Amino acid sequence: RREAMHARTARSSTRTPTLDHLGTDLTALAKADKLDPVIGRSKEIERVVQILSRRTKNNPALIGEPGVGKTAIVEGLAQRIVAGEVPEVLQGERIIALDIGALVAGTKYRGEFEERLKRVIEEEKAAGNCILFIDEMQTIVGAGAAEGAVDASNILKPSLARGELKC
């Protein structure tokens, strides 16, 4: 399972090369039957589906201690999308688990991290069928912040507030 979670998405001719490089496509893993079945999380998955289906304020936040099953809920959502057990507005969506470590890795110069994150956001918007999953969201606050630089949360906030980004 650990191996499947770290598997990168296929890097074929895609509209989301940065996302493919820095994330894991959970819907592709679900389609390939590489995710474990999710048991006892139907209510939580249904609530996430409801929130994602809204026109505004459609970014659910799963909060809880490590190991309680937040990632399992997202994997369950990916499985439902693949099975066609979601409203029409979510059919065909890809859930991309963004790897914050990969996003930050190798960004030693001012602005590199911000540019990389902006590319991810632009690709997500342009593709129009991606939902970003950012595990351990608290790690993104301050990520990439150097002297005079903005952190990831300040880059994400405007797109989230305008409803341009599904996360």
Contact 113, 85 (CB under 8 A): no
For residues 86 and 67, give the distance between their C-alpha atoms in angstroms, rounded to a whole number: 26
Residue 111, Ramachandran bin (φ over 0: left; ψ between -120 and 50: alpha; else beta):
left
Is pLDDT larger for residue 24 or for residue 14?
A: 24
The one-letter code for the residue type at 60 is P
Tell me what pLDDT residue 34 has.
98
Confidence of residue 14 (pLDDT cuts 50, 70, 90): confident
Query: Environment class of residue 90 by beta-carbon count within 10 Å: exposed (0-12), middle (13-18) or buried (19+)?
Result: buried
**How large a percentage of the chain has pLDDT more than 70?**
84
- Domains by residue range for the chain, with CATH: 17-162 (3.40.50.300)
Tell me what pLDDT residue 155 has.
82
For residues 115 and 75, give the distance between their C-alpha atoms in angstroms, rounded to a whole number: 28
122-127, long-range: CB within 8 Å, 24+ apart, which pairs?
A: 123/15, 123/16, 123/17, 123/18, 123/19, 124/16, 124/19, 124/96, 124/165, 124/166, 125/159, 125/164, 125/165, 126/15, 126/16, 127/15, 127/16, 127/19, 127/94
For residues 86 and 52, give the distance between their C-alpha atoms in angstroms, rounded to a whole number: 10
Average pLDDT over the chain, rounded to whole? Answer: 85
What is the arithmetic mean of pLDDT over 12-36? 90
The answer to whether the predicted template modeling score (pTM) of the entire model surpasses 0.95 is no
Tell me what pLDDT residue 142 has.
63
